[in-house]
Amino acid sequence: MNSFDIAISSLTSIPVLAFALGVIASRLKADMSISKSAVEIISFVLLLAIGLKGGFALQKTGLQGSGLPIATTLVLGSLIPLIAFGLLKLVRHLSLVDRGSIAAHYGSTSLVTFTAALVFLENSKIEYEGLVTTLLVVMEVPGLLIGILLARGGLSALKDKELLKEVFFGKTVLLLLGGVVMGYIAGPKGYVSVKTLFVDAQPGLLTLFLLTLGIQAGNNFKHFRSLGSLLVVFAIAMPLIGGALGAFAGAAIGLSVGGSTALAVLCASASYIAAPAAVSIALPTANRSVPITASLGITFPFNLLIGLPLYFWLAQTFANVI
């Protein structure tokens, strides 16, 4: 299957079409909302599913050779919010706090984008390292902390116990890391016992989640004018920069094309679940609607519709060059 076929397959996949349906339903003002408790349950299952699958894969391949990918991911997780913060200087009406807040959202990762990437790779029969789930957890922490430190203008954020608790022990990190550990310990027998819910049902759960996100994105259209054209350009340019860095770094450290694609998606994605919780604690004066509208309303659909096949193509290209 060539890159064009993979792109068409991605655009016509059920999860992507569900996101489009949610946007259309929102614009038509149709009553298609899913209860908040149901969304919470779906997100819990997706987080555990990604962690468990990563743990099972790690149990097969072992932890040997994980040091370099983890170190590379820490560097990328620190670099991306710095790049975002620097680019946002061009948006003159943003305050220092808002620049740091947006940088934290783009330094953090998107579980749903990552899940969509894994489904995309699996549907395309492209193999990837089980370690990539661990890299998702690794990138989450520096991305959030550095964005918040930039917003505060120093290291004072490291003294905030509530913030550190949210960053290191928030739902996203605990469920993902816990899932990896459980999957690694349980091994193949554990895999079989939970496969129906946490593996087979994952595409269906992702479809429901994307339908909900489509509705939210459609509801956020009214905020687009407040972003301004430069912020819209940033919300498209930033994932392209991050995706290119991730694909190049993955190829440089010897990851497979699938693994490099997954790392590129991590670098290209922007958080709209974990980051808002941490930022609301650390930066209470920041404008909350701007980063969520940019990440969920622009960057997320861009990654979903265009980014996934593009980052795969970049990973292929760098693998052939390096």
Question: Tens of pLDDT along 198-215?
Answer: 878 888 888 888 888 888
d(CA 74, CA 140): 9
Nearest residue to 140 (alpha-carbon basis) of 206, 234, 184, 77: 77
d(CA 79, CA 101): 15
Nearest residue to 221 (alpha-carbon basis) of 43, 39, 29: 29
The reported pLDDT for the residue numbered 269 is 95
The reported pLDDT for the residue numbered 114 is 92
pLDDT over 90 for what percent of the chain?
31
Question: Tens of pLDDT along 76-111?
Answer: 999 999 999 999 999 888 899 999 999 999 998 988
Contact between residue 276 and residue 288 where contact means Cβ atoms under 8 Å apart: yes
Residue-range domains of the chain with CATH = 3-22+35-211+221-317 (1.20.1530.20)
The reported pLDDT for the residue numbered 173 is 74
pTM: 0.82
The reported pLDDT for the residue numbered 66 is 81
Residue stretches of the chain with pLDDT short of 70: 1-7, 10, 61, 63, 154-158, 223-226
Nearest residue to 235 (alpha-carbon basis) of 277, 269, 262: 269
